[in-house]
Structure 1
Amino acid sequence: MADTPTVGRRTVLQAAFTAPAVAALTATTAPEASARTSPRDPDDPRFTIAVLPDTQYLLDEGGSDPEPVRHTLRALLQRPDVVFLAHLGDVTEHGTESEMRTADAVFRTIDGRMPYSVLAGNHDVPGGTDDQRAATPYSRTFPPGRFSRMGTSAGFDAKGYNSFHVIRAGGRQWLLLALDWRVSDQGIRWAQQVIDRHPTLPVVLTTHDLVSADDGDAVLSEHGRRLWDGLVRRNDQVFLTLNGHYWPPGRTTLTNDHGNAVHLHITNYQDRYYGGAGMVRFYTFDLARGVIDVETCSPWLLTRGSTVPEVETARLTGDADRFSVPIDFRARFAGFAPPALPAARPASAVLVKDTAAYWRFDADGLRAAGTDGGPVAPGSVARDLTGRGNDLTVELIGAAGPEVLTWSADHHDTAPAHASLRFGGGHGPDRGAILRAAPKAPVNSARFESGYTIETFLKLPEPFEGDHAFMGVLSWEGRSGDAGKSSGWSPEEPTCSLNVSGERFLQFVVYPVPTDADPTSWSHAVPTGRWTHVAVVNDGRRTTMYVDGAKISRNASEESKGISTLGKPFVIGATQFALRYGHGFYGWIGDTRIVARALRPAEFLTAVPGR
């Protein structure tokens, strides 16, 4: 902590992708570390970095108790999700040889068993010096050689007060910079060299003094402003900074020179009961959900009694201690590490056995494919790439203008074609666009009594504006009543359709061939602003819907064999009711395939060879 502290508080594909291998910049290079006993999958999109702030009041030769810190370190060894521990400085109160001997003994708890970093705070070294100082009890206790058994330790500066670490987690590598409490110009140049030699790695910067807080958003300290201007703001790779020194905890978000957010957090609990009681903060990265979940507790106090100070301090749940930071990791890192996405696949790669129809909207499947955002004119043809004659022709509904259907280069990461169609939506029979099969196309009359799989990719706009309740994704035209079906609701709906409800639930409703029922499956609310893969699989007896490869819960319980088609056209982009089109689709639709048998998820269009 500072001699005169200030006070305050406040609040990351489809995501995981592989980054290029790291090239190490070292003043001291570390060999491979001995592994932790707990197994961990380095490709798991969920992992945790633990943060341990100022422990100085517990490592004080004037009278303290190192056990809470030791207990915290032992507790971390029991959590296989914790991939790294970052200490934020002020390890000890006075930085004496005696205190450093205690610190040495405490950190031996995890030496060789968990990778970690430490950095000097103003209580660990002479406060008036910077990172060019001579050797100190701190630097002799935590020299580069101490970290040589850690596979993450990648290098130190010449004086040994600044270090960097490369962490493999979430299917990629991350760079953690551990900088001295007072970084000199030489230190900033060294840190810039480290970042420059690892140009594709996202950076977490840790130091002792960067922001403070006072009843709200954190603000840059004087030294923090120097670090921000001299290093952080110009390096887009730095997306998160962590520091101690001041209390209370707080956070803020600043915009760097590249127009991207940088999250700056202060965490320090030495003012709390028992000198902070070994308080640790967990930063749990969830790349699949696009968020960092943060929680704070004292593992030592969680095992103890129920006195008021212990209970109040054991687990902290205030806004500054327990929160989430939403981050679109892919978009945030795109400027320096664009994702390695699968290449487009030719139609021949996905024309599996029994494919009845396959449409895609790149140049192979749609001759009108061209300029992103350009209109797709009525009469344009999306070819059935099976060659079975199920070509679809673009038609506009009612008074719709050319903007109601446009070509787009946007696509699901794993879609075979890197293209889609953007439907402008519409309510009632006066606005919309459809792709309609010719009157005698085979798909119009196919009944699929041995089973079927219908797949498509769709994306709803963000924000999702207007009334688009029960807009159609795809359907067969006609009235269920004309097929002799009367489910008790209405004979006016078609015999098979995939729709999106007002709550954004996917609805697949089908009238089977032999029975007078309408088995309907309902998904959860699908997200906006993100591509979704939908597959409806029927094995000749039951229908199962999958969303992004996951089976939904509200699949129809009735038996369902085939589709009671009437020979009426198959359509993408809307659903009829009483032979009139209702809400036209609002959003993007990509590759669409119908297979005359039940496919396994491993056979869906999302199955990219080698991934």
Structure 2
Amino acid sequence: MRIYKVILALLLAAALPATAAQAEGYRQGHCGEFTVAMIPDTQSYVDYRHQAWSGFPFDAIEQFYAQMWWVATNARSSGGDIVFATHVGDVWQHYSEWMDPAHAARGFKWMPNGGSETAMSPKVQTRAFEIPAAVQAFKLIADKLPFSVVAGNHDYDALWTDPAHPPRPERKVGVRHLGGLTGFQSAFSNTSSFFAGRSWYVDSRDGGPDSAQVFTAGQCHFLHIGLQYHAPDASLNWATAVIARYPGVPTIVTTHDYLGRDGKRNMTSNPLNSALDPLDNDPEKIWEKFLSAHDQIFLVLSGHVSGQSFSIDTNRAGNPVYQIMADYQERNRTAIDAGVDGPTGDGWLRLLKFRLDTAHPKIEVRTYSTHYGKFAAEIPEYGAWYKAREKQGHLSDEDFLRRDEFTIDLRDFHRRFGAPVGASVR
């Protein structure tokens, strides 16, 4: 009888579509309800100008610490249901060099940037305060749960304007480029105490700006891949090799710049590295070369653009890829309450609650402020506070709220990855 069951199982697996057969091993039983914490751009908290010692009314970094403490206390290891956290990049605000040595060696030229204070010149405070302060924030979750952090454009060492594309009346800041990740590597390298020796940290490239993690929920396991800003071909090739080691495992990808507020892939970013450097990929190329090519990638998370959006695209296998963007760096009610008008973030983060053990799997997306201790739907003034500032003033308060509190119907999930016992697959 036992041999018969083994033979029957092999025959059934052979009869399944390839993706389902590969994915069969991801689920050994029920997943249980669980949450993935999505931590949007934290640069406004870490900005050295937003601290009391710089003359600001309060220490904005405390809001970042409060966020990470909240994630830690609601982790599965602390009795909560958060099993994984992913930071979408732009951990800090300022640059520390005019140009990195690697791009200088390749023959790139630079001229000073115009535009915002952030881009006007390198800052010594980046390495003296902003990076160490960010490290302290991540120490709050370091032993609580698996996590990822990717390099956003503000996390690079250098930002410069290409002399061949200087500022003009129609483009006031010229065309910029980024380079150098020594600051990021000093905080989040693969050999840092955050990741060295962690069984869930399964791979990395470029010293840590690209990385891969596995996490479990109940009797199910998942793969997460983090890609640096405008990931070059080398990053995409590395990520492809990681996926090959975990065939069929449901995969989440986080990268900093991907969607705009309209839910389309963002092609207006400045700097847009791929406009100057053939080694780098814009969001559309990342979709074409990597995301759409691997059917086990079902969810893509990003930030970068102040506001939020959600969209669904169909991959090459004909299955949906769910894409979420959230960035709350420009929110400023805490600053206004303190008598100033600067962006301080207000403690908002995204919580993705997965319910996969039913016949109709779904993700419930909610937005929570650790400063106010409330979800977006619990604040009557939510739309009035934020929609105009995030360039969405044309929306009603209700429509604006629906961009932060909604449900994703994972109608294809059981068919692609396997269903729990007793759940029907349609």
Same fold (TM over 0.5): yes
CA RMSD of superposed structures (Å): 3.3
Change (3 A) 1:302 1:19: same
For residue 286 of structure 1, report the CA deviation from its aligned partner: 0.1
Question: Structure 1: where are the runs of 5+ without partners?
Answer: 1-16, 23-41, 342-411, 414-528, 532-611
* Match of residue 137 from structure 1: 183
* Match of residue 493 from structure 1: none
For residue 110 of structure 1, report the CA deviation from its aligned partner: 1.3
CA distance in 1, matches of 2:321, 2:315: 7
CA distance in 2, matches of 1:330, 1:302: 32
Change (3 A) 1:19 1:269: same
Partner SS, residue 293 of structure 2: coil
CA distance in 1, matches of 2:131, 2:64: 14
Kept in 2: contact 1:18–1:172 (CA 8 A): no
For residue 73 of structure 1, report the CA deviation from its aligned partner: 1.2
Cα shift readout 1:402-455 (whole Å, capped 9, x = no counterpart): xxxxxxxxxx77xxxxxxxxxxxxxxxxxxxxxxxxxxxxxxxxxxxxxxxxxx
- Alignment of 1:283 onto 2:352: yes
Partner SS, residue 290 of structure 2: helix
CA distance in 1, matches of 2:265, 2:380: 37
Question: Structure 2: where are the runs of 5+ without partners?
Answer: 1-21, 52-59, 75-79, 96-125, 160-175, 268-281, 335-343, 387-397
* Match of residue 99 from structure 2: none
CA distance in 1, matches of 2:26, 2:382: 48
Kept in 1: contact 2:214–2:224 (CA 8 A): yes
- Alignment of 1:91 onto 2:137: no
* Match of residue 133 from structure 2: 102
Higher strand residue share: 1
Change (3 A) 1:69 1:332: farther
Kept in 2: contact 1:177–1:205 (CA 8 A): yes
Cα shift readout 1:500-522 (whole Å, capped 9, x = no counterpart): xxxxxxxxxxxxxxxxxxxxxxx
* Match of residue 39 from structure 2: 52
For residue 224 of structure 1, report the CA deviation from its aligned partner: 1.1
2:211 maps to a residue whose letter is S
Higher helix residue share: 2
Cα shift readout 1:351-370 (whole Å, capped 9, x = no counterpart): xxxxxxxxxxxxxxxxxxxx
For residue 340 of structure 1, report the CA deviation from its aligned partner: 9.0
Partner SS, residue 300 of structure 1: coil
Change (3 A) 1:122 1:135: closer
CA distance in 2, matches of 1:53, 1:18: 30
* Match of residue 117 from structure 1: 148
Change (3 A) 1:310 1:298: farther
Between the two structures, name the one with larger relative contact order (CA 8 Å, sep ≥ 6): 2
Kept in 2: contact 1:19–1:172 (CA 8 A): no
For residue 330 of structure 1, report the CA deviation from its aligned partner: 4.4
Q: 1:20 aligns with which of 19, 25, 29?
A: 25
Q: 2:416 aligns with which of 333, 338, 363?
A: 333
- Alignment of 1:302 onto 2:373: yes
Q: TM-score with structure 1 length normalisation?
A: 0.46
Q: 2:61 aligns with which of 60, 66, 85?
A: 66
Kept in 2: contact 1:90–1:122 (CA 8 A): yes
Change (3 A) 1:134 1:339: same
Kept in 2: contact 1:48–1:283 (CA 8 A): yes
* Match of residue 260 from structure 1: 319
Partner SS, residue 147 of structure 1: coil
Partner SS, residue 204 of structure 1: strand
- Alignment of 1:220 onto 2:265: yes
**Correspondences of 1:358-507 after superposition (within 5 Å):** none
Kept in 2: contact 1:202–1:237 (CA 8 A): yes
Kept in 2: contact 1:71–1:300 (CA 8 A): yes
* Match of residue 293 from structure 1: 364
* Match of residue 391 from structure 2: none
2:224 maps to a residue whose letter is L
CA distance in 2, matches of 1:188, 1:156: 12
CA distance in 2, matches of 1:331, 1:43: 12
1:54 maps to a residue whose letter is D
Cα shift readout 1:483-542 (whole Å, capped 9, x = no counterpart): xxxxxxxxxxxxxxxxxxxxxxxxxxxxxxxxxxxxxxxxxxxxxx779xxxxxxxxxxx
Q: 1:233 aligns with which of 259, 284, 292?
A: 292
Cα shift readout 1:229-288 (whole Å, capped 9, x = no counterpart): 010111101111000001220111111110100111111111212422231100111002
Partner SS, residue 301 of structure 1: coil
CA distance in 2, matches of 1:333, 1:307: 40
Structure 1 moving runs of 4+ over 6 Å: 306-311
Kept in 1: contact 2:30–2:357 (CA 8 A): no
Q: Work out the percentage of aligned pairs sharing the same amino acid.
A: 27
Q: 1:243 aligns with which of 302, 306, 311?
A: 302
For residue 149 of structure 1, report the CA deviation from its aligned partner: 5.4
* Match of residue 207 from structure 1: 255
Q: TM-score with structure 2 length normalisation?
A: 0.64
Kept in 2: contact 1:162–1:180 (CA 8 A): yes
CA distance in 1, matches of 2:26, 2:331: 42
**Correspondences of 1:152-191 after superposition (within 5 Å):** 152-191=200-239
1:297 maps to a residue whose letter is Y
CA distance in 1, matches of 2:46, 2:401: 27
CA distance in 1, matches of 2:198, 2:207: 20
CA distance in 1, matches of 2:65, 2:81: 19
Change (3 A) 1:135 1:247: closer
Change (3 A) 1:257 1:74: same
**Alignment coverage as a number of residue pairs:** 303
Q: Bigger radius of gyration, 1 or 2?
A: 1
Change (3 A) 1:183 1:129: farther
Change (3 A) 1:310 1:76: farther
